[in-house]
Amino acid sequence: MKNVKWIPIVLTVSLLTSCNPIRVPKSTMDHQMSAVPQNVIPTKSEWEAPRVLKPNKNIPISILIKNKSNQPIQTFETVHTKKMHLIIVSKDLSYFSHLHPKYEGNGKFDISTTFPSGGDYQLIAEVTPKGGGDNSVEKHWMHIDGPVPKSTPLIPVQKLTKVVDGLKITLSFDHLMAEMNSNMTFTIRDAKTNEPIKNLQPYLGAMGHAVAIKDNLQEYLHIHPMTTKGNGPKVTFMTYFPQKGVYKIWGQFQYQGRIIIAPFIVNVPKMKM
Ligand SMILES: [Cu+2]
Protein backbone atom coordinates (compact mmCIF):
# COMPACT_ATOMS: atom_id res chain seq x y z
CA MET A 1 0.00 0.00 0.00
CA LYS A 2 2.94 2.34 -0.67
CA ASN A 3 1.01 4.43 -3.13
CA VAL A 4 -2.07 4.61 -0.97
CA LYS A 5 -2.42 8.34 -1.54
CA TRP A 6 -3.38 7.61 -5.12
CA ILE A 7 -6.28 5.36 -4.23
CA PRO A 8 -9.65 7.08 -4.02
CA ILE A 9 -10.93 6.91 -0.47
CA VAL A 10 -13.91 4.76 -1.39
CA LEU A 11 -11.67 2.15 -2.90
CA THR A 12 -9.33 2.19 0.11
CA VAL A 13 -12.28 1.51 2.35
CA SER A 14 -13.37 -1.38 0.21
CA LEU A 15 -9.92 -2.91 0.30
CA LEU A 16 -9.82 -2.66 4.06
CA THR A 17 -13.31 -3.90 4.80
CA SER A 18 -13.56 -6.69 2.30
CA CYS A 19 -11.47 -9.79 2.23
CA ASN A 20 -12.34 -10.02 -1.44
CA PRO A 21 -11.38 -6.78 -3.13
CA ILE A 22 -13.70 -5.67 -5.85
CA ARG A 23 -13.06 -7.35 -9.14
CA VAL A 24 -12.40 -4.58 -11.59
CA PRO A 25 -11.55 -5.79 -15.06
CA LYS A 26 -8.08 -4.99 -16.30
CA SER A 27 -9.38 -2.94 -19.18
CA THR A 28 -11.12 -0.64 -16.74
CA MET A 29 -8.15 -0.29 -14.48
CA ASP A 30 -5.93 0.51 -17.43
CA HIS A 31 -7.81 3.59 -18.47
CA GLN A 32 -9.46 4.76 -15.28
CA MET A 33 -7.42 3.73 -12.31
CA SER A 34 -3.89 3.34 -13.55
CA ALA A 35 -2.52 4.95 -10.39
CA VAL A 36 -3.87 2.15 -8.26
CA PRO A 37 -1.41 -0.63 -7.46
CA GLN A 38 -3.30 -3.65 -8.71
CA ASN A 39 -0.97 -6.60 -8.65
CA VAL A 40 -2.88 -8.15 -11.51
CA ILE A 41 -0.41 -10.40 -13.30
CA PRO A 42 -0.67 -9.75 -17.06
CA THR A 43 -1.79 -12.78 -18.99
CA LYS A 44 -2.43 -13.90 -22.54
CA SER A 45 -4.54 -16.80 -23.65
CA GLU A 46 -4.98 -19.26 -26.46
CA TRP A 47 -8.36 -20.90 -27.01
CA GLU A 48 -8.93 -24.14 -28.86
CA ALA A 49 -12.18 -25.69 -30.02
CA PRO A 50 -13.31 -27.81 -32.96
CA ARG A 51 -13.57 -25.98 -36.26
CA VAL A 52 -17.30 -26.50 -36.74
CA LEU A 53 -19.47 -25.77 -33.74
CA LYS A 54 -23.10 -26.79 -33.51
CA PRO A 55 -25.72 -26.05 -30.87
CA ASN A 56 -26.65 -28.69 -28.27
CA LYS A 57 -23.56 -30.75 -29.02
CA ASN A 58 -20.82 -31.25 -26.49
CA ILE A 59 -17.94 -28.97 -27.43
CA PRO A 60 -14.50 -29.46 -25.93
CA ILE A 61 -12.73 -26.18 -25.21
CA SER A 62 -9.10 -25.78 -24.18
CA ILE A 63 -7.75 -22.59 -22.68
CA LEU A 64 -4.03 -22.01 -22.40
CA ILE A 65 -3.00 -19.24 -20.01
CA LYS A 66 0.35 -17.69 -20.77
CA ASN A 67 2.46 -14.90 -19.36
CA LYS A 68 3.26 -11.82 -21.40
CA SER A 69 6.32 -13.51 -22.89
CA ASN A 70 4.03 -16.23 -24.26
CA GLN A 71 5.19 -18.92 -21.82
CA PRO A 72 2.50 -21.09 -20.18
CA ILE A 73 1.88 -20.09 -16.58
CA GLN A 74 2.42 -23.11 -14.34
CA THR A 75 0.76 -22.34 -11.03
CA PHE A 76 -2.48 -20.64 -10.15
CA GLU A 77 -4.06 -19.56 -6.90
CA THR A 78 -7.23 -21.32 -5.83
CA VAL A 79 -9.86 -18.59 -5.59
CA HIS A 80 -13.30 -19.52 -4.28
CA THR A 81 -12.29 -23.17 -4.38
CA LYS A 82 -11.34 -23.13 -8.08
CA LYS A 83 -8.31 -22.30 -10.21
CA MET A 84 -10.42 -20.99 -13.07
CA HIS A 85 -13.91 -19.56 -13.25
CA LEU A 86 -15.38 -19.47 -16.76
CA ILE A 87 -18.44 -17.40 -17.57
CA ILE A 88 -20.17 -17.93 -20.91
CA VAL A 89 -22.81 -15.47 -22.16
CA SER A 90 -24.63 -15.03 -25.43
CA LYS A 91 -24.13 -11.69 -27.15
CA ASP A 92 -27.57 -10.47 -26.01
CA LEU A 93 -26.81 -11.70 -22.45
CA SER A 94 -29.90 -13.91 -22.44
CA TYR A 95 -27.77 -17.02 -21.91
CA PHE A 96 -25.48 -17.34 -18.87
CA SER A 97 -23.32 -20.19 -17.70
CA HIS A 98 -20.67 -20.39 -14.94
CA LEU A 99 -18.26 -23.30 -15.28
CA HIS A 100 -15.01 -24.51 -13.78
CA PRO A 101 -12.56 -25.91 -16.33
CA LYS A 102 -10.19 -28.56 -15.08
CA TYR A 103 -6.52 -27.66 -14.72
CA GLU A 104 -4.45 -30.10 -16.73
CA GLY A 105 -1.06 -28.55 -15.90
CA ASN A 106 1.34 -26.50 -18.00
CA GLY A 107 -1.11 -23.59 -18.21
CA LYS A 108 -3.86 -25.63 -19.83
CA PHE A 109 -7.49 -25.80 -18.72
CA ASP A 110 -10.14 -28.07 -20.28
CA ILE A 111 -13.92 -28.00 -20.25
CA SER A 112 -16.69 -29.46 -22.31
CA THR A 113 -19.99 -27.65 -22.69
CA THR A 114 -23.00 -27.16 -24.93
CA PHE A 115 -24.42 -23.97 -26.42
CA PRO A 116 -28.21 -23.62 -26.72
CA SER A 117 -28.37 -22.11 -30.21
CA GLY A 118 -26.42 -20.55 -33.04
CA GLY A 119 -24.85 -17.13 -32.62
CA ASP A 120 -21.97 -15.41 -30.90
CA TYR A 121 -20.93 -16.12 -27.34
CA GLN A 122 -18.41 -14.40 -25.12
CA LEU A 123 -16.29 -16.61 -22.88
CA ILE A 124 -14.69 -14.93 -19.89
CA ALA A 125 -11.99 -16.79 -17.97
CA GLU A 126 -10.81 -15.62 -14.56
CA VAL A 127 -7.53 -16.88 -13.20
CA THR A 128 -5.07 -15.67 -10.60
CA PRO A 129 -1.51 -16.69 -11.47
CA LYS A 130 0.43 -17.55 -8.32
CA GLY A 131 1.45 -14.42 -6.48
CA GLY A 132 -1.22 -12.27 -8.14
CA GLY A 133 -3.28 -10.06 -5.88
CA ASP A 134 -6.33 -9.94 -8.04
CA ASN A 135 -7.63 -12.05 -10.86
CA SER A 136 -6.72 -11.71 -14.51
CA VAL A 137 -9.54 -11.78 -17.03
CA GLU A 138 -9.22 -13.38 -20.46
CA LYS A 139 -12.04 -12.99 -22.96
CA HIS A 140 -12.77 -14.89 -26.14
CA TRP A 141 -15.60 -14.91 -28.67
CA MET A 142 -16.97 -18.12 -30.14
CA HIS A 143 -19.40 -18.48 -33.00
CA ILE A 144 -21.86 -21.36 -33.02
CA ASP A 145 -23.37 -22.34 -36.38
CA GLY A 146 -27.09 -22.58 -36.91
CA PRO A 147 -30.10 -20.29 -36.72
CA VAL A 148 -29.63 -17.34 -34.38
CA PRO A 149 -32.67 -16.61 -32.22
CA LYS A 150 -34.02 -13.08 -32.19
CA SER A 151 -31.98 -11.20 -29.61
CA THR A 152 -33.65 -10.31 -26.34
CA PRO A 153 -33.51 -6.56 -25.68
CA LEU A 154 -31.96 -5.54 -22.36
CA ILE A 155 -34.60 -3.44 -20.70
CA PRO A 156 -33.86 -2.21 -17.18
CA VAL A 157 -36.73 -2.69 -14.78
CA GLN A 158 -37.67 -0.64 -11.76
CA LYS A 159 -39.08 -3.55 -9.79
CA LEU A 160 -36.09 -5.64 -8.81
CA THR A 161 -37.98 -8.64 -7.44
CA LYS A 162 -38.42 -11.94 -9.16
CA VAL A 163 -39.32 -15.52 -8.41
CA VAL A 164 -36.77 -18.16 -9.33
CA ASP A 165 -37.21 -21.81 -8.48
CA GLY A 166 -39.59 -21.20 -5.57
CA LEU A 167 -37.58 -18.31 -4.12
CA LYS A 168 -38.53 -14.66 -4.17
CA ILE A 169 -35.36 -12.69 -4.74
CA THR A 170 -35.12 -8.92 -4.37
CA LEU A 171 -32.14 -6.89 -5.46
CA SER A 172 -31.40 -3.56 -3.80
CA PHE A 173 -28.58 -1.03 -3.68
CA ASP A 174 -27.63 1.51 -1.02
CA HIS A 175 -26.93 3.83 -3.93
CA LEU A 176 -26.65 2.84 -7.52
CA MET A 177 -24.16 4.97 -9.37
CA ALA A 178 -21.24 4.45 -11.71
CA GLU A 179 -17.64 5.03 -10.64
CA MET A 180 -18.22 4.52 -6.94
CA ASN A 181 -18.60 1.60 -4.60
CA SER A 182 -22.09 0.54 -3.81
CA ASN A 183 -23.51 -2.20 -1.66
CA MET A 184 -25.68 -4.55 -3.63
CA THR A 185 -27.96 -6.80 -1.57
CA PHE A 186 -29.97 -9.82 -2.58
CA THR A 187 -32.79 -10.65 -0.16
CA ILE A 188 -34.10 -14.18 -0.47
CA ARG A 189 -37.54 -15.32 0.71
CA ASP A 190 -39.72 -18.32 0.16
CA ALA A 191 -41.97 -17.40 -2.77
CA LYS A 192 -45.04 -19.07 -1.25
CA THR A 193 -44.80 -18.13 2.42
CA ASN A 194 -42.66 -14.98 2.11
CA GLU A 195 -40.56 -16.35 4.98
CA PRO A 196 -36.93 -15.19 4.93
CA ILE A 197 -34.55 -17.95 3.88
CA LYS A 198 -31.96 -18.51 6.60
CA ASN A 199 -30.40 -21.72 5.42
CA LEU A 200 -28.63 -20.85 2.20
CA GLN A 201 -25.71 -23.14 1.57
CA PRO A 202 -22.20 -21.97 0.81
CA TYR A 203 -21.53 -22.03 -2.89
CA LEU A 204 -17.88 -22.13 -3.94
CA GLY A 205 -16.78 -21.07 -0.50
CA ALA A 206 -19.12 -18.07 -0.14
CA MET A 207 -22.80 -17.35 0.48
CA GLY A 208 -23.22 -16.33 -3.12
CA HIS A 209 -21.53 -15.10 -6.22
CA ALA A 210 -22.48 -12.33 -8.58
CA VAL A 211 -21.43 -11.38 -12.06
CA ALA A 212 -22.29 -8.16 -13.86
CA ILE A 213 -21.76 -7.49 -17.56
CA LYS A 214 -22.43 -4.24 -19.39
CA ASP A 215 -24.80 -4.35 -22.38
CA ASN A 216 -21.93 -3.82 -24.85
CA LEU A 217 -20.04 -6.73 -23.23
CA GLN A 218 -17.06 -4.45 -22.63
CA GLU A 219 -17.18 -4.43 -18.85
CA TYR A 220 -17.14 -7.56 -16.76
CA LEU A 221 -17.39 -7.66 -12.98
CA HIS A 222 -17.19 -10.79 -10.87
CA ILE A 223 -18.18 -9.78 -7.39
CA HIS A 224 -17.98 -11.77 -4.19
CA PRO A 225 -19.89 -11.17 -0.97
CA MET A 226 -18.38 -8.70 1.49
CA THR A 227 -18.92 -10.73 4.60
CA THR A 228 -20.61 -13.98 5.41
CA LYS A 229 -23.16 -12.97 8.00
CA GLY A 230 -25.35 -15.97 8.57
CA ASN A 231 -26.90 -17.99 5.78
CA GLY A 232 -29.41 -15.47 4.46
CA PRO A 233 -31.85 -13.97 3.91
CA LYS A 234 -29.55 -11.10 2.88
CA VAL A 235 -26.35 -11.49 0.90
CA THR A 236 -24.46 -8.25 0.31
CA PHE A 237 -21.82 -7.58 -2.29
CA MET A 238 -19.66 -4.52 -2.66
CA THR A 239 -19.51 -3.57 -6.26
CA TYR A 240 -18.09 -0.90 -8.50
CA PHE A 241 -19.64 -0.19 -11.88
CA PRO A 242 -16.85 1.38 -13.94
CA GLN A 243 -19.20 3.15 -16.37
CA LYS A 244 -22.78 4.34 -16.48
CA GLY A 245 -25.18 2.26 -18.55
CA VAL A 246 -27.25 -0.89 -18.63
CA TYR A 247 -25.85 -3.96 -16.91
CA LYS A 248 -27.14 -7.45 -16.51
CA ILE A 249 -26.42 -8.91 -13.09
CA TRP A 250 -26.63 -12.58 -12.17
CA GLY A 251 -26.71 -13.60 -8.52
CA GLN A 252 -25.91 -17.24 -7.80
CA PHE A 253 -26.88 -19.01 -4.62
CA GLN A 254 -27.18 -22.55 -3.38
CA TYR A 255 -30.32 -23.69 -1.61
CA GLN A 256 -31.37 -27.25 -0.80
CA GLY A 257 -28.66 -28.56 -3.07
CA ARG A 258 -29.78 -26.51 -6.06
CA ILE A 259 -27.93 -23.64 -7.71
CA ILE A 260 -30.28 -20.70 -8.09
CA ILE A 261 -29.45 -18.10 -10.74
CA ALA A 262 -31.24 -14.77 -10.39
CA PRO A 263 -30.77 -12.38 -13.31
CA PHE A 264 -31.59 -8.66 -13.14
CA ILE A 265 -31.17 -5.79 -15.59
CA VAL A 266 -30.30 -2.44 -14.07
CA ASN A 267 -29.53 1.00 -15.36
CA VAL A 268 -26.51 2.44 -13.56
CA PRO A 269 -26.63 6.24 -13.63
CA LYS A 270 -23.66 8.55 -14.03
CA MET A 271 -21.90 9.72 -10.90
CA LYS A 272 -23.13 13.15 -9.86
CA MET A 273 -20.30 15.61 -9.43
CU1 LIG B 1 -16.70 -19.93 -10.64
Global pTM value: 0.84
Instruction: Quote the ligand 1 centre to 125 CA distance (angstroms).
Output: 9
**Residue 87 Cα to ligand 1 middle (Å):** 8
How far does residue 81's CA lie from ligand 1's centre (Å)? Answer: 8
> CA 211 to CA 237: how far, in whole Å?
10
220 CA to centre of ligand 1 in angstroms:
14
- Report whether 8 contacts 101 (CB < 8 A): no
- Which residues line ion ligand 1, judged by CB < 5 Å? 85
CA atoms within 13 A on the CB side of 272: 2
Domains and CATH numbers, the chain: 39-144 (2.60.40.1930), 161-268 (2.60.40.10)
Query: What are φ and ψ of residue 72, in 5° steps?
Result: -60, 135
pLDDT digits (tens, 9 = 90+) for 203-256: 888 889 999 999 999 999 877 677 667 898 999 988 889 899 999 999 999 999
Whether pLDDT at 18 is above 50 = no
Distance, CA 209 to ligand 1 centroid (Å)? Answer: 8
Confidence of residue 11 (pLDDT cuts 50, 70, 90): very low
Please provide the DSSP assignment of 211-250 as one string: EEEETTS--EEEE-BS---TTSSEEEEEEE-SSSEEEEEE
CA 32 to chain centre: 20
**What is the spatial distance between Cα 64 and Cα 108, in angstroms, rounded to a whole number?**
4
Expressed in angstroms and rounded, the spacing between residue 84 Cα and the centre of ligand 1 is 7
User: Per residue in 123-133, pLDDT tens?
Assistant: 999 999 998 88
